[in-house]
Amino acid sequence: MDSSEQLSLAEKVISPEKAFNNIILHINGAKTDLTPYYYSENAILFNNDCLDILSRVPENSIDMIFADPPYMLSNNGFTCKNGRMVTVNKGEWDKSKGFEEDTLFHDTWIQAARRVLKPEGTIWISGTYHSIYQCGYLLQKNGFHILNDIVWFKSNASPNLSCRFFTASHETLLWAKKEKKARHTFNYGEMKNGYFPEDKLKKENTQMRSVWSIPAPKNSEKEFGKHPTQKPLDLLLRIIKASTHDGALILDPFNGGGTSGIAAKLAGNRFYIGIEIDAGYCELSAKKFEKFYRKVLNENNI
Domains of the chain: 3-299 (3.40.50.150)
Q: At what angle do helices 279-299 and 259-266 cross, to 10 degrees?
A: 20
Q: What is the rounded CA–CA span in Å between residue 181 and residue 47?
A: 35
Query: For 233-290, what is each residue's pLDDT tens digit?
Result: 999 999 999 999 999 999 999 999 999 999 999 999 999 999 999 999 999 999 999 9
Which pairing describes strands 62-67 and 117-127: parallel, antiparallel, or unpaired?
parallel
Find the helix or strand (DSSP H, E) in which 132 lies.
helix 132-141
What pTM value is reported for the model?
0.88
Mean pLDDT confidence for 129-155: 96
The pLDDT of residue 302 is: 45
Cα torsion through 221, 227, 230, 233, rounded to 10: -30
The pLDDT of residue 89 is: 46
Percent of residues, the chain, with pLDDT higher than 70: 84
Q: What is the rounded CA–CA span in Å between residue 178 and residue 181?
A: 9
The pLDDT of residue 93 is: 60
Whole-number average pLDDT of the chain: 88
Q: What is the rounded CA–CA span in Å between residue 302 and residue 296?
A: 9
Query: For 198-214, what is each residue's pLDDT tens digit?
Result: 999 999 999 999 999 99
The pLDDT of residue 148 is: 98
The pLDDT of residue 16 is: 86
From the list 217, 218, 267, the residue with the least C-alpha distance to 239 is 267
Find the helix or strand (DSSP H, E) in which 251 lies.
strand 249-252
When pLDDT is cut at 50, 70 and 90, the band that residue 160 belongs to is confident
- At residue 227, does pLDDT exceed 50? yes
Query: For 64-82, what is each residue's pLDDT tens digit?
Result: 999 999 987 655 554 545 5
Cα torsion through 254, 131, 136, 187, rounded to 10: 50
